[in-house]
Structure 1
Amino acid sequence: MISGEQSDKKTGYLFAMLGGICWALAGVCGQYLFQSKAVTAEWLVPVRLVSAGVIILLVACFRKGKAAIFSIWQDRNNIVPIFIFALVGTALCQYSFFASISVSNAATATFISYISPIFIMIYVVFRTKRIPACLELLSILLVIIGIFIIATHGNIDNLVISAQALIWGIISAASFAVYSIQPQRLMRKHDTLIVTGWGMLIAGAALFVLFKPWIYEVNYDLSVFLSLSVLVLFGTILSYVFYLEGIKRVGATAGSLLSSIEPIVATLLSALWLGQHFAAFDFIGFAFILIIPILLSRESLTKADRASR
């Protein structure tokens, strides 16, 4: 029994890390499309989410049957949670992340979004009605320092990234916390593919109505199709399924820690593939933010996180 639990945890650790790697690949592909193909987030995100949602539900239908994928709607208690998951945890998270990339770069947007454990920690503190631990308060201080360094490079009178990039990145972090916590009860009752598929389809449909991506002119050449395919397959389908399966096994806090490989991979890919240059101050700011999930992965917080689920 213990051996089985340990194996399940190891699988969860692997899934959370793979989710982070796939997200990094998606962010860099998005930056490539923004920089080289003049694609906009208003076109990319709805197309990406609808495509991925349809594919995931088709796979779920093949695996579980038609009745299974619609079973989630038979319980009225699922309707509000699935729409919160879709509109806040998926649509807002995805759009804000790519909006941040479009006005900065994949690595910077990814690192800013990795303050999401702070929002998870705040939720856990309120949910468990306890006083924040010293390490948790230290993490908040590190967030402030890290973002200040990335945004100003130490000069308070100068912003080296746009306020838009900073705001969208913080929104992405907050909505990703919703994505990490909110669907866990749904996933106890329904298959991860089904929850993820409906979340993405609803999110994509809402953004289609909001942004009308068909009005944007896009040069549909081979590189656009290849980049979009990578975004849909690895950056949307596999990344979200891997991550959700990971936190299902090890919890949201541990999942956030393990998927923190994402900004490291995003930085490497941005530098090697897109020739992105980073200043020493950027890496200092990145380090302050990257240490946050490590601090928040202390056993005391992990136990409280699991108790809150």
Structure 2
Amino acid sequence: MLKGIILVFLGACSFGILSTFVKLAYHEGYTLGDVTGAQAFFGAVILWVLFFIQSKTSTYRAKEIKIITPWWKMIMAGTCTGLVSIFYYQCVKLVPNSVAIILLMQFIWMSILLEFLIFKKKPSGLQLGAVLLVLGGTVLASGMLETSISALNLKGIGFGLLAALCYAGFLMLSGRIGNEYPTLKKSALMITGACILIFIIFPPAFLFNGALAGSLLKWGLIISVFGTVIPPLFYAEGVPKIGTALSSILSAAELPVAVMMAGFVLQEQVSFLRWMGVAIILSAMILPNLKYLKRKA
């Protein structure tokens, strides 16, 4: 279980780093289609290359793998990650970054609610307490209290909530289907699904218009590694070990990392109130693990 906790936590941290690089890519004039397409395309290529390398090893060949979930279901499930990218990056364009982050963080309660509605799995008291702390800390850490109401955009809020819902769906599906697949193959299939969906919505003009000769190649590789390779790999391995509810709480690590990156890399002013929110979120992630940590002590 401890391994699963660490993997999900690191996956969330990687996803938190992502938004800073996306913002830098936007500053250089690249579009939503460029960023999401490059992320999914390079991510799928990297994951498939890693899988084929792994499949040639003697250790992999020695394992007898019984596949139960059809490959096309994995690809369909992967569309959730493509939708997260599309909706979230569009949200960032329409509302302040701090508001976009708090909207995405709503996946925490959405994922627990989905588990309850679909699988009748009731959250524990510790999990409910952690969710309340995460939501309260998110309001502070995102800077929403310091953001003017007039700066809000209803379309942006809608895209942010859709991104949160898709993220919750991704967490739920990642932990419940295709767990018999090797982690690399499972991640590669899911990202392939995301890539197909994004290419349908945004035809991959960047592959032919010379954009890759510029800095899009650099940003595409960076964003794909931190947003498409590391999180799905770590989630595919970690979520089945600890469950969707705990994974959703640990995934809140994305916000503190995003705040720190904004302060250190983008040189944005991060107030004491926002750092207080970061501290509350970090403590909330520890809360549901207290019973497990005491048992290990």
Q: What's the secondary structure of 1:229's corresponding residue? A: helix
1:116 is aligned to 107
Q: Deviations over 1:148-201 (max 9, x none)?
A: 88797489x933232233222211111111111113333321112111111111
Partner letter of residue 18 of structure 2?
A: A
Q: Which residue of the other structure, out of 16, 25, 35, is the alignment partner of 2:8?
A: 16
Aligned to 2:202: 211
Q: 1:99 aligns with which of 90, 100, 109?
A: 90
1:102 deviates by 2.9
> CA offset at residue 290 of structure 1?
7.7
1:231 aligns with 2:232: no
Tell whether the 8 Å contact from 1:117 to 1:296 is kept in structure 2 after alignment.
no
CA distance in structure 1 between the partners assigned to 2:230 and 2:121 by the alignment: 36
Q: For each residue in 1:126-147, what CA deviation from the matched residue of structure 2 results, as whole angstroms up to 9, or x when unmatched?
A: 2453777778788888898888
Which one of 26, 29, 43 corresponds to residue 38 of structure 1? 29
2:117 to 114, 126, 132: 126
Unaligned runs of 5+ in 1: 1-8, 300-309
1:243 to 235, 258, 269: 235
Amino acid at match of 1:172: A
Is 1:60 aligned to residue 56 of structure 2? no
Partner residue in 1 for 2:77: 85
Letter paired with 2:231? S
Q: List runs of 5+ in structure 2 lacking aligned partners.
A: 292-297
2:181 pairs with 1:190: yes
Given the two structures, how large is their TM-score scaled by the length of structure 1? Answer: 0.74
Separation in structure 1 between the aligned mates of residue 177 and residue 124 of structure 2, nearest angstrom:
30
2:163 maps to amino acid: S
CA–CA distance in structure 2, aligned partners of residues 240 and 280 of structure 1: 33
State the Cα distance separating 1:241 from its structure 2 match: 0.8
> How many positions carry a matched residue from both structures?
286
**SS, match of residue 152 in structure 2:** coil
**C-alpha distance in 2, partners of 1:232/1:130?**
33
Q: Distance in 2 between matches of 1:164 and 1:280?
A: 30
Shift of 1:23: 0.9
CA RMSD of aligned residues (A): 3.9
2: distance between equivalents of 1:219 and 1:225?
A: 8
User: Is the Cα–Cα contact under 8 Å of residues 95 and 151 in structure 2 kept in the other structure?
Assistant: no
**For 2:244 and 2:131, how far apart are their aligned partners in 1?**
18
User: Paired residue for 2:295?
Assistant: none
Cα distance in 2 for residues equivalent to 1:42 and 1:100: 14
Contact 2:112 2:244 in 1 (8 A): no
Deviation at 1:116, TM superposition (A): 0.9
Deviation at 1:264, TM superposition (A): 0.7
Deviations for 1:17-60, whole angstroms, at most 9, x for unmatched residues?
Answer: 211121122111001111x2111222211221122112211211
Q: Is the Cα contact below 8 Å between 1:21 and 1:262 reproduced in 2?
A: yes
1:174 partnered with 2:153? no
SS in 1 for 2:92: helix
Match of 1:200 among 191, 201, 220: 191
Deviates more, 1:141-150 or 1:38-47: 141-150
Give the alignment's TM-score, normalised by structure 2.
0.77
Among 21, 24, 42, the residue aligned to 1:29:
21
Residue matched to 1:5: none
CA contact (8 A) 1:104 1:165 kept: yes
Amino acid at match of 1:205: I
Check whether the contact 2:105–2:138 (CA below 8 A) recurs between aligned residues: no
Which whole-Å deviations, capped at 9, do the CAs of 1:71-120 have from their partners, x for residues lacking one? 99x86x525632431223x1111211222223345554333212212111
Amino acid at match of 2:242: V
Q: Distance in 2 between matches of 1:277 and 1:131?
A: 40
Q: Distance in 2 between matches of 1:116 and 1:86?
A: 17
**For the Cα contact (< 8 Å) 1:81–1:183, is it kept in 2?**
no
Summarize the Cα distance change of 1:263–1:184 in structure 2 as closer, same or farther, 3 Å threshold: same
Q: Take 2:259 and 2:38, find their aligned partners in 1: how far apart are those partners?
A: 25
Compute the displacement of 1:121 (Å): 1.2
Give the whole-Å Cα distance in 2 for the aligned partners of 1:259 and 1:117.
8
Equivalent position of 1:307 in the other structure: none
Aligned sequence identity (%): 18
